[in-house]
Structure formats: C-alpha cells, structure tokens
Structure 1
Amino acid sequence: MLTQLETSQPPATVPSRGKLVSIVMPVFNEVAVLRTLTALVSQAFAESVYEHEIVYVNDGSSDGSAELLDEIAAVNSHVHVIHLSRNFGQQSALQAGLAAADGDAVVVMDSDLQ
C-alpha cells in the first residue's frame, strides 16, 4: 500500500539544458533599470537547467532605452530587442514580444523592477 509520500513511479529526472524559456518584457522609458534587470534575469538562469532568451519590446521610449537595449543586445546573446515605431501600449508590445519569442515556455513580466 502506498502512502501519500510514496509513489509507484520513478522520480522525475531533471531536464537537460536545451529547453528554452523566453522572458518577454515591454519597455517604456526604463533606461535607469535595464542593465540591472538584464543582470538579474541572467543571474537567475545562471545555475538553471534551462536556456533563456530575453525579448525586450521597446514601446516607443524617448529616454535612451532604445539605444541602451541595442548596446545590451550587442554584448549579450540572450537578449533580443524589438523596436516599435511609436508608443502602442503594453498590450501591443506584449503581442509583438510573444510573436517573436522562441521558447518552449514564455514568461511575461514588467521591466520596471517593481
């Protein structure tokens, strides 16, 4: 007889590296936090069994976010940037990011570190 803690199935194995998690984040005037945000997400996945990509969607920022995102993407192969031609709003930015995400799983989060 099995108790709640016992199972007749073998324990699940830890997935090998290769599964991709996409993190989609709309960005509007967040130049002050983008470097920190990128570092925190990368750090969170550093010891993970999952690969990751960060899909930033610049939603018409006017504070230098667009240029900084391009700089970050130039040195971090996990970062991909989509630039919208103007501010279309969070939902449109999310749709653009979701369409570009390649992950086996997708996480949507805000880019303001709050």
Structure 2
Amino acid sequence: MAQPGRTSLCSPHGRALGTARGRAGDGRTRKDPEGSSPPHCAACFGLPSHYLRHNLYATTSGVFSHAALLGAVQAIGADRLLFAVDYPYESTAEAVDFLRTAPFSRADLKRIAHRNAAHLLNL
C-alpha cells in the first residue's frame, strides 16, 4: 500500500498541542463495539502523535507563556513552531521580547523565529 501524499497543516495558537498529543491515541487502539478497528484506520502507518509531529506546524501567536511554548516544543518539536504575532490584538514588541526570553537554545530560537518559516515557504 502506498503512503498517501504528505500534507502539512499550520495551526495558530500552539498552546493546546500538549493536550492534543495526549489525546492522540498513543498506546491505545480505538475499536468499534464488535472489537475491530474502524476501516479508515487501516491506511494509517503510525500513531496519531507521529502525524502531529510530522505534518503539523503551529504558531506562537496568542501565547505568552513559556510553559505553553515548552509543551508545544515537546509535542511537535522546535522545528515545527513558527513565530507569529496576532496583530492587532498583540503587541509585536511584547511578542518579540517573549520569544527572546524563552528558555531554549539559541539554535531553537532561530528556528522558531525565522528558519522554520523560511524552510516551510521555500524562501
């Protein structure tokens, strides 16, 4: 069976990713009442968390919590986060300051700030 085409999604407000990954079904299989897996699951090649980590990008917009940002990095990785500002509802200066003070390596901060977007958009 051939793997379906690769699709990437971009989700704003990455703060819910830790919860999404926890509810993604890793370690358990959902079955119908007769004990068989739903037919659409036959085409899946990995656990739901695999698809979250490899097919989803999230932005930092709306997030001014280092704990939430850390949860997003743990859920999908620093290479899947994109810096963004929810303008006009957020201050660009505050968002930049928030990212600059995040407890991540310089390399991860560069990825989040601009390298991930450049890669995703083929810039």
> Which category describes the TM-score, using the shorter chain as reference length?
0.3 to 0.5
Relative to the length of structure 2, the TM-score reads 0.36
Which structure ranks higher in relative contact order (CA pairs < 8 Å, sequence separation ≥ 6)?
A: 1
Relative to the length of structure 1, the TM-score reads 0.38
Pick the structure with more helix per residue.
2
